A and B are shown apart, each in its own frame.
Chain A
Amino acid sequence: MQLRLSTISCFLLASSSLMAEDYVSVEYMGYDKESGRTTISTPSIEINKDFGADYTANLSVMHDSVSGATPIYHDSSSGASAKIPEGTIYKNDIEYSDVDYEDERTAVTLSLTKRFESRDELTIGGNYSKEHDYESKEMSVEYLHYLDSSKNQSISIGTSYQKNDVSVYCSLNTDECDSSSGASEKVKTLDVFSAEIGFTQVIDKTSQLKSSLFYINEDGYLSNPYMRVVRDYNRNPKLTQEEKPDSRKAYGALVQYSKALSDRLTTVSSYRFYSDDWEINSHTLNGELYYEFNDKLTTGVGLRYYTQSEAKFYNASADYFTDQTYASSDRRMSSFDSLNYKLSGDYKISSDISINASLNYYDQPDYFSAFYYNLGVKYKF
């Protein structure tokens, strides 16, 4: 009898911990570029609410305020601006240095999960984000199916469609439109289709493996209206807007392994491979280690390594591009490595309230480094 009661109470405890929970999470996140002027501040809120055992709704709202500078080619004689000057440009006036910018972005994400009698899950989500020159709308659908009665194996299939509107301001004097056109902006579109299939396998009571294959198809305006390249540097130098292809097909795979090494020590590690038809291949390795000092305090450390090859149309030099169709000096299209270091802590003030904080250091050697961090409160109700 004692054994039966113990088994039942263990089952109830485990079941309650596996269920989604009702909570409100409020966080302030910040980003500061080292030896630079870029700062981002992002207050955000997330609400998760169960409606009975079969429905869960999740809402999150984030607001980014960005103030800073990004390096691009520009004509120094007309000031540090992304605007392409009219008339002749002289070699000595072409500079690659910081140009100021400011932006604000609000993003709202809503999802609703329905659990069926088999406990399979259907999640429908929507995302909307708005910046002064960019608007994005997204719908997603994901279905999770358990392959066995103990729910130790599951397969998930998801897809999303994203429609983006990019406003290219004519005052920038790009090929899309210039200040003499009489228009203030030209709106370009970008459609993104994503699909992902995932598998989860519980290996034993303390470890599980997740894996997924993903495919992303982008079709439309993929150039950045603020990025510049120099063409014909040696004969008749010109500053033009960068030109990226108007489609991009990418695929990749992710494997993640979680293991509780003891009652207090847990590790989560993952590897992601990515490849696209712009000839960018990337590898991402991530490792995290969490230690529970007691029932209240949990700390974590993390290390992420990222490496990528360069896009086929990338070159950083001022004297490389002439009449190539596609041309970009955007550093993100180059070959580079990066490292991210993370420290985190979570402290439970009571059974309902916890506070969390983390500090991250992101480094692309020889280019830039930045700190980013968060401070948050979570209330379970």
Chain B
Amino acid sequence: MRTLYLSLVITLFGGCSIKDVKPWEKGTLAKETMREGGGDVLFKKFANHIYFSKEGSKGGGGVAGGGCGCN
């Protein structure tokens, strides 16, 4: 599985090389702006709720989400 994943990464980002980043070098990676939605969990839920109620597909954002009668 790991080999398959690494192959996918290499295919998608052929120009990039994967580096061994130490824990103390991860300050930038931990920024909220490195996350989709800028780390605003509540608004991301609200936006996903709007997309789900207006579109015919869903999924990919994690298994937890909750249901609603907006289908």
Contacts and interface: CB of A to CB of B under 8 A. Distances in A.
Chain A contact residues: helix, strand, loop or mixed: strand
A222 B64 contact: no
B42 A282 contact: no
A25 B41 contact: yes
B34 to A, nearest CB: 4
B55 A150 contact: no
A274 B24 CA distance: 37
A122 interface: no
Contacts of A334: 56
B54 A364 contact: yes
Contacts of A255: 12
Given A214-B59, A332-B56, A286 B36 contact: yes
Contacts of A190: 67
Interface stretch (A88-96, A203-211, A230-238, A316-324): A203-211
Interface in B34-64: 34-38, 40-43, 45-47, 49-51, 54-64
Interface of A: 7, 10-11, 13-15, 17-18, 25, 27, 29, 31, 42, 44, 46, 60, 62, 64, 103, 105, 107, 109, 111, 125, 127-129, 131, 133-134, 136, 138, 140, 142, 147, 150-153, 155, 158-160, 162, 164, 166, 190, 192, 194-196, 199, 201-209, 211-212, 214, 216, 222, 224, 250, 252-258, 260, 266, 268, 270, 272, 274, 276, 278, 280, 282, 286, 288, 290, 292, 298, 300, 306, 308, 311, 332-334, 338, 340, 344, 346, 356, 358, 360, 362, 364, 370, 372, 374, 376
8 contacts: A44-B42, A107-B66, A196-B62, A206-B29, A258-B34, A266-B31, A272-B60, A298-B38
